[in-house]
Amino acid sequence: MEAPSTGTPVRVGLLGCGNVGAALAVLIDEQRDDVARRTGLSFQVVSVAVRDTSIDRGVPVPDGAFTTDAAAVVADPDIDVVVEVMGGIEPARTLIVAALENGKPVVTANKELLANHGAELYSIAEAAGVDLLFEAAVAGAIPIMRLLRESFAGEPITRVMGIINGTTNFILTKMSGEGTSYADALAEAQDLGYAEADPTADVEGHDAGAKIAIIATLAFGAEVVADDVYLEGISGVTAADIEAAAHLDHCIKLLGVAERRGDEIGVRVHPTLVPNGHPLAAVNDSFNAVFVEGDAVGEVMLYGRGAGGRPTASAVFGDLIDAAGNSARGHGAPIGSLERARISPMADLETAYYLAIDVDDRPGVLATVAAVFGEHNVSIRSMEQSGLGGEARLVFITHRARESDLQATLHDLRGLDAVRSVGSVLRALGD
Amino acid sequence: MEAPSTGTPVRVGLLGCGNVGAALAVLIDEQRDDVARRTGLSFQVVSVAVRDTSIDRGVPVPDGAFTTDAAAVVADPDIDVVVEVMGGIEPARTLIVAALENGKPVVTANKELLANHGAELYSIAEAAGVDLLFEAAVAGAIPIMRLLRESFAGEPITRVMGIINGTTNFILTKMSGEGTSYADALAEAQDLGYAEADPTADVEGHDAGAKIAIIATLAFGAEVVADDVYLEGISGVTAADIEAAAHLDHCIKLLGVAERRGDEIGVRVHPTLVPNGHPLAAVNDSFNAVFVEGDAVGEVMLYGRGAGGRPTASAVFGDLIDAAGNSARGHGAPIGSLERARISPMADLETAYYLAIDVDDRPGVLATVAAVFGEHNVSIRSMEQSGLGGEARLVFITHRARESDLQATLHDLRGLDAVRSVGSVLRALGD
């Protein structure tokens, strides 16, 4: 530990000391002098609330900083800013509320909490006149929150699309590059520590769903919660889908999408065909990216690490400097009180679709199948047949169609004699 | 024109009314109510200084707003914020200094001015306690300035690399996709209005050089000016180079690079071989991107439109909202007084290189050529021969080497009997 640098001291209380908390303590220590020189603020972690104080975490904080009494940390008048990196809803929520009500700015990386109780917390922060910042909660090192709050303040955002789960992007990249099956790619992700033993939260889209709810709330200024998000994961994506997509010059990515539909907001997470020329198609491995579309700004994409102790700690530290600076100047930058968003039902989605249908290979089948599409106003953009005889498969990409029409088409296709099975149905970017 | 919305009125004086100025006036008018609702600020363009008031510009500003007296606009006590979109060094510099000294925040899109006199202006803004913001000066809709000022405040940036000139990126994309020659691609860019009749500022790297000087200044907190930047344009890049690069799974991009070398800063603009898997390789057509490398944050890339009236106006409007908000709260966010950067000489650069050498096709030539590389400590990563006899060409990619050693190698290669000519020499990303 160095002696405190010159600069206004900022005493930080840390709730939780896992990967991100430990990396933050190291970063604050390493960068203290540089940051003091640039910002006039000298940060010092003075308290760290953990469940077990007997573990040696090897982080550069003063002797005696560790405590099991988190409530005392958020009440301590000697603490200027609170960083919550413990995760989960409770006790994080109660602690953050207490910190805000005690006039302390809070920086959090807690996506689960914000995706479910964000609006309540934003409103409490506004009433208290202090900052609640959470860049690290969504897409780690990618500064999407700041941009939605600040750069695009004069800009009506029309759509945000993100590759916001590194685990699934790693799996899809593996499947795409090496023709690996979903099961093998998942196993490799688990071996490398990218996926957990129970991968449900990642592969079924829950993690991405929480993040897109937070993004939608900021982008459109109305409360969107995790339960509003339509979820479809990647566990049904097959090597054959990826190959067929590649043949059509597309890749498959798990996208979180938040978009305006009139005065409603649509929010969804699902595997999506992305044209290879699109910037999102070049986002590989465990990287994240967020693609923002606005009326005036056009298309803007942010790319970077979505997770990892140091990248996430860097995002927390950026927020910490903001929060402490705003606090010293006597004002926060609150999001304020938000109304509930009107959520557009999934049936009203309009997008392009990819369908793989196993059929009997005999004359007239394509005409019969195509007629079903036509009856439901679903227009076909391209069709390819692969295989012959009992292996015959038709792969379609449609023009933009309504989800309800597409579902009606699927229903009728399943009733056709010549259709042996309807395989994957994926949404696609494009017209 | 609508009646002014509720919200604190912010009266904007506009210097210049070209594409960006006109688009800004429209955007402010369109978004007035939304922005007032979100920020509590109601923007109104009240004065527009132009050279000729007789032109009908069809922009939504009050009758009588147009004036030829720019000095009166920056002195007018009824004007809260000044936006400078006239370009050029003078009279822009004098007007901005006057506005700042009169306590008015200034938003500018003037890269030429900032790349030559930025440090002086930042210092004047700090002394006056008001904002000087300039997101639109570099890479239009890409919020790189904000991120360097704010998000990465706790982060030591090690390198910034940007595709920051849309014209040259369009030309290189054309050459790459369609095997077009440089001359034909330039002519097409001129036809489409992407390149000017005299394309020198774009194709020889001056425009990118000014932008990377501004980026370097912000990223490293020390004054870097346009003259510090090593410049090499794209007019020497041939269709054969692009084909050879593609064969080696690279594309060629004009990059502006600013990087730390010890306590010195290197700044350069030159055509660069970029591996196809790198995110910068997917930035095509007239799009821009800025790739930031930091110790903790890892790699972050921002992608978007680098130019165009509306995207640029959107960036100006974001700054305007910031500047007016900071002003209402009684403080700016100054960059402050900067020392001159210590500029690292180009001879000290270490990077990989691509070289195309036309040689006599006879036994022993490769050994002779390779010996010259070895004598100067330049290590060869890959070599390919194309053509035979009088058309024989050797294409090399080296490992990282010092620029001075590479130049010595070139000097000696040119002296070899077997070497008919040394063609293109390009720097490459990689080890």
**Chain B residues inside the 8 Å CB shell of A297:** 141, 304-305, 310-311, 314-315
> Mean of the pLDDT values across residues B348-373?
93
Whether residues B23 and A298 touch (CB distance < 8 A) is answered with no
Residue-level pLDDT at A57:
87
Q: For chain A, what percent of residues have pLDDT higher than 70?
A: 97
Residues B37 and B178 in one domain: no
Residue-level pLDDT at B1:
40
Residue-level pLDDT at B37:
83
Encoded tokens for B55: 């032109």
Residues B298 and B183 in one domain: yes
The answer as to whether B424 is a domain residue is yes
Q: Considering Cα of A83, then A84, then A85, then A86, what sign does the dihedral take?
A: positive
CA distance B278 to chain A (A): 8
d(CA B107, CA A382): 49
**Chain B residues inside the 8 Å CB shell of A300:** 141-143, 302-305
**Chain A residues inside the 8 Å CB shell of B28:** 154
> Mean of the pLDDT values across residues A397-411?
96
Among the partner-chain residues A146, A300, A318, the one whose CB lies closest to the CB of B142 is A300
The residue of chain A with its CA nearest to that of B311 is A297
Residues A211 and A294 in one domain: yes
CB within 8 A of B241, min separation 6: which ones? B252, B354, B356, B423, B424, B426
Residues B320 and B273 in one domain: no
CB neighbour burial string for B123-158, b if at least 16 within 10 angstroms, e if fewer: bbbbebebbbbbbbbbbbbbbbbbbbbbbbbbbbbe
Residues B81 and B207 in one domain: no
B357 pLDDT exceeds 80?
Answer: yes
Encoded tokens for A162: 């993100």
Long-range contacts of B99-103 (CB under 8 A, 24+ apart): B99/B13, B99/B74, B100/B124, B100/B125, B100/B128, B100/B130, B100/B132, B101/B128, B102/B74, B102/B75, B103/B128, B103/B129, B103/B130
- Picking from B293, B297, B300, B303 by the largest number of A CB atoms within 10 A of its own CB, the best residue to mutate is B297
The residue of chain B with its CA nearest to that of A31 is B154
Residue-level pLDDT at B331:
61
Residue-level pLDDT at B149:
83
Active-site position among A104, A111, A211, A253: A211
The answer as to whether B33 is a domain residue is yes
- Specify which of A95-104, A303-312, A317-326, B50-59 reaches the highest per-range mean pLDDT: A95-104
Helix B239-247 with B166-178: angle, nearest 10 deg:
70
Among the partner-chain residues A35, A281, A283, the one whose CB lies closest to the CB of B154 is A35
Residues A283 and A358 in one domain: no
Residues A183 and A85 in one domain: no
Residues B408 and B424 in one domain: yes
The answer as to whether A210 is a domain residue is yes
**Chain B residues inside the 8 Å CB shell of A314:** 152, 154-155, 294, 296-297
d(CA B155, CA B76): 40
Residues A192 and A299 in one domain: yes
Helix A166-178 with A182-191: angle, nearest 10 deg:
130
Whether residues B27 and A296 touch (CB distance < 8 A) is answered with yes
Q: Which of A9-13, B81-85, B155-159, B254-258 has the lowest mean pLDDT?
A: B155-159
**Chain B residues inside the 8 Å CB shell of A221:** 38
**Chain A residues inside the 8 Å CB shell of B142:** 300
Whether residues B303 and A300 touch (CB distance < 8 A) is answered with yes
Cα–Cα distances in Å, from A374 out to A176, A398, A399, A409, B141? Answer: 32, 11, 12, 9, 41
Whether residues B35 and A297 touch (CB distance < 8 A) is answered with no
For the sheet containing A41-49, what is the strand order? Answer: A66-67, A41-49, A8-15, A81-84, A106-108, A132-133
pLDDT in tens, A327-349: 776 666 678 889 999 999 999 99
Whether residues B294 and A315 touch (CB distance < 8 A) is answered with no
The answer as to whether B339 is a domain residue is no
The answer as to whether B338 is a domain residue is no
The answer as to whether A354 is a domain residue is yes
d(CA A321, CA A327): 10
The answer as to whether A147 is a domain residue is no
CA distance B164 to chain A (A): 14
Q: Any idea what the CATH number is for the domain that residue A217 is in?
A: 3.30.360.10
Whether residues B38 and A221 touch (CB distance < 8 A) is answered with yes
Residues A300 and A314 in one domain: no
Q: Any idea what the CATH number is for the domain that residue B17 is in?
A: 3.40.50.720
A353 pLDDT exceeds 90?
Answer: yes
B30 pLDDT exceeds 50?
Answer: yes
Domain of residue B77 covers 8-140+309-328
CA distance A423 to chain B (A): 31
Whether residues B151 and A294 touch (CB distance < 8 A) is answered with no
Average pLDDT, chain A: 92
**Chain A residues inside the 8 Å CB shell of B313:** 296
Last residue of a domain, one of B305, B336, B358: B305
Instruction: Give how many domains chain B has, as a whole number.
Output: 3
Residues B128 and B239 in one domain: no
pLDDT in tens, A286-317: 999 999 999 888 899 999 988 888 889 999 99
Q: How many Cβ pairs within 8 Å bridge chains A and B?
A: 159
CA distance B259 to chain A (A): 17
DSSP A427: E
pLDDT in tens, B182-241: 999 999 999 998 899 999 999 999 999 999 999 999 999 999 999 999 999 999 999 999
Q: Any idea what the CATH number is for the domain that residue B400 is in?
A: 3.30.70.260
**Residue A2's pLDDT band (boundaries 50, 70, 90)?**
very low
The answer as to whether B145 is a domain residue is no
Whether residues A302 and B303 touch (CB distance < 8 A) is answered with yes
Whether residues B315 and A304 touch (CB distance < 8 A) is answered with no
Q: For chain B, what percent of residues have pLDDT higher than 90?
A: 77
Encoded tokens for A224: 């969107």
Q: For chain B, what percent of residues have pLDDT higher than 70?
A: 97
Known active-site residue A211: yes
- Tell me, what's the ipTM? 0.88
pLDDT in tens, B37-54: 878 899 999 999 999 998
Residues B134 and B163 in one domain: no
Active-site position among B104, B111, B174, B211: B211
> Mean of the pLDDT values across residues B81-94?
97
Whether residues A39 and B153 touch (CB distance < 8 A) is answered with yes
